[in-house]
A and B are shown apart, each in its own frame.
Chain A
Amino acid sequence: MMAAIILVCSLVFLLQFFVSYCRSLIAASIKHPLSAEVQDVTGIKNSATGEDFDRVVQLLQLCPDRPEDRSSIQAIGAYFGLLGFMRSSVARIIPSLQAWTETERGQCTYFAAVTLERRIAFSRDMFAQQLET
Chain B
Amino acid sequence: MPGPLVNLLWLIGILAEAAVVVCALKKGAFRRYLLLNLYMAGLLLVELGRYKIVSEYGLKSTQFQYFYFYSDAILTIFLYFALCTLYSHVFSEMKAERYVKLGALLLLAGTALFTYAVVQQSTAKLVTHFVVDLSQNLYFVGLVLTYVLWGAILKLRETRTRLIQLVLSLGLYFSFLAANYAVRNLYPSLSTVFIPLVQLCGIFLPLAWAYAFWRLPEEARLAPARLAVIPR
Contact = CB atoms under 8 A, between A and B. Distances in A.
Contacts of A11: 175, 179
Interface in A1-42: 3-4, 6-7, 9-11, 13-14, 16-21, 23-28, 30
Contacts of B183: 7
Contacts, number: 106
Interface residues of B, number: 43
Interface centre among B146, B161, B168 (most CB of A within 10 A): B168
A84 B186 CA distance: 31
A100 interface: yes
Instruction: Using C-beta atoms within 8 Å of the partner chain, give the interface range for chain A.
Output: 20 to 34
Contacts of B43: none
B75 interface: no
B88 interface: no
Interface stretch (B28-36, B45-53, B78-86, B224-232): B224-232
Contacts of A14: 172, 175-176, 179
A46 interface: no
B157 interface: no
A68 B210 contact: yes
B207 interface: yes
The 5 closest A-B CB pairs, nearest first, are A71-B207, A7-B182, A10-B179, A14-B175, A17-B171
Given A17-B147, A28-B220, 13 more contacts: A10-B178, A10-B179, A10-B182, A13-B174, A14-B175, A14-B179, A20-B150, A23-B229, A24-B226, A28-B215, A67-B16, A68-B23, A69-B211
